[in-house]
Amino acid sequence: MRINISKIRLRKVPDLSIQYEMEEHRTWPHVFKFSGGRSSAMLLLSLLKNRCLRPSRGDVVIFNNTSAEYPATYDFASICKRITEERYNIPFFWTEFQTYEDSRRGNWTRLPSYRLVKDHPFARNRPYGYRYKGEVFEEMLSWKQRLPNHLQRLCTQHLKLETTIRFLEDWFAFKSHTSRLGHWYRKSKVSRLRREDLERIVSYHLSTSTTRSSQKFQDYTQASHVRIRNSGIKNRAFGGTAELKGDNPVDFITLVGLRADEFQRVARVKTRNNSGLSDSNPDKLAHGEYIYTPLADHGVTKNDTMEFWKKQSWDLRIPHSVNFSNCVYCFMKGKRTLRRIIKDQSENSLPPKHQKTPVDIEWWIDIEDKYARRVASTKTGNSVTRFGFFGANSPTTYASLREDIEEEQPIFIDDSMPCDCTD
């Protein structure tokens, strides 16, 4: 059921602002990376109330959907999107990773891209809605032919960071729509024969659309079209795409909801800012990006955000006691936290709509079984290394965690590692 946002009154929104480190930063477009969590939403509402975001500067809010979030996160992100667009006229886009087919160096292949989606669930009769059954996550796994783990967070890289960059390349080019991508043949051109040994793994992404359709930005936002007047980014687009790397990249501000108690993550962000200023940094996805953490700068902690949400008539409907944030069973959450989620979910039967989706541990068990790589040792030939979500030959798997819950200690400690997905 959609909440009537005209009835929502925001109470005691803190007076947070951006403490600019350089005067010129005020003119750079501001990109708010919305994580779907309470801290991120509190920061967004506060900056909106204090008129810190301006559409004419090219400011935009982005939420990258992994299709593996908790259902309440989608409802919460939808309310935040509608408040942002309908009350403050700032565009708030939901994006999803997707692949398409084209040729590269004489071969047909699949290439990464993104699409815009609306804030209602995807269905056959509502094809522009967001995916929530793990489709986006699985397309990425099938395309990469392996699973992410805590050392190689492929999901963060492809579903979030690079998807945002691809979106910004279009957004900063002042385009009214994204380009159609992919070949014009009716059928797939990627050879399945060469992939025979990997048939089970690659079949998912090869069954998705061979093209990426053109989409009008205006169709995916309730913010009315405002002409961007920002001379700083005007001449940085070539061939319909804004330059985000190289000698003359678009300079922009990124706003993230890191709090004062997340000091290690804040410190890492600040280090990245400084390395980007000194010289060209090949690992940095956008050379002109400068990240601000206004919550941390104002000393806002987790307790402050909890106090803020206690005063509101609406909230993220996720209990504080269980860590359901980000992808529900994210492998970065740690064994104890994951067991806690499994136990909680097993005590509350899932509605049929959510069975065998990422809210259900069975989905993660099946995905791990399907995409874990098994590599034979080149030395002995008869030992096999298995690369799962928890590393090489790890005894921990999603299946083992499900079996463990009966033995779990009654005291649960949150042992999650920050997944840093939006930093």
| Closest separation in Å from C-beta 7 to ligand SF4 | 32
Nearest distance from C-beta of residue 134 to ligand SF4, angstroms: 11
**Closest separation between CB of residue 328 and ligand SF4, Å?**
9
CB of 364 to ligand SF4, least distance (A): 10
Which one, 16 or 327, has the nearer CB to ligand SF4? Answer: 327
- Beta sheet of 391-392, edge-to-edge order: 373-376, 384-388, 391-392
Smallest distance, ligand SF4 to C-beta of residue 45, A: 23
Cβ nearer to ligand SF4, comparing 308 with 389 = 389
Q: How far is the CB of 332 from ligand SF4 (least distance, A)?
A: 5
Given the complex with ligand SF4, which of 392 and 417 has the nearer CB atom?
A: 417
**Beta carbon nearer to ligand SF4, 46 or 98:** 98
Q: SS in 3 state form for the chain? A: CCCCHHHCCCCCCCCCCCCCCCHHHHHCCEEEECCCCHHHHHHHHHHHHCCCCCHHHCCEEEEECCCCECHHHHHHHHHHHHHHHHHHCCCEEEEEEEEEEEEECCEEEEEEEEEEEEEEECECCECCEECCCCHHHHHHHHHHCCCCCCCCCHHHHHHHHHHHHHHHHHHCCCCCECCCECCCCCCCCCCCHHHHHHHHHHHHHHCCCCCECCCEHHHHCCCCCCCCCCHHHHCCEECCEECCCCCCCCCEEEECCCCCCCHHHHHHHHHHHHHHHHCCCCCCCCCCEEEECHHHHCCCCHHHHHHHHHCCCCCCCCCCCCCCCCECCCHHHCHHHHHHHHHHHHHCCCCHHHCCCCCCHHHHHHHHHHHCEEEECCCCCCCEEEEECCEECCCCCHHHHHHHHHHCCCCCCCCCCCCCCCC
From the CB of 138, what's the least distance to ligand SF4, in Å? 12
CB-wise, 66 or 230, nearer to ligand SF4? 66
Which CB sits closer to ligand SF4, 116 or 155? Answer: 155
CB of 236 to ligand SF4, least distance (A): 29
- Smallest gap from residue 68 Cβ to ligand SF4 (A): 6
CA angle, residues 7, 88, 35, in degrees to nearest 5: 85
Between 233 and 419, CB nearer to ligand SF4: 419
Taking the C-alpha atoms of residue 66 and residue 140, their distance in angstroms, rounded to an integer, is: 10
Residue numbers at the binding site for ligand SF4 (CB under 6 A) = 66, 68, 148, 153, 155-156, 159, 326-327, 330, 332, 419, 421
Q: d(Cα 384, Cα 320) in Å, to the nearest integer? A: 41
Entry field: residues in the chain: 423
Q: Taking the complex as a whole, how short is the minimal distance between the CB of residue 159 and ligand SF4, in angstroms?
A: 5
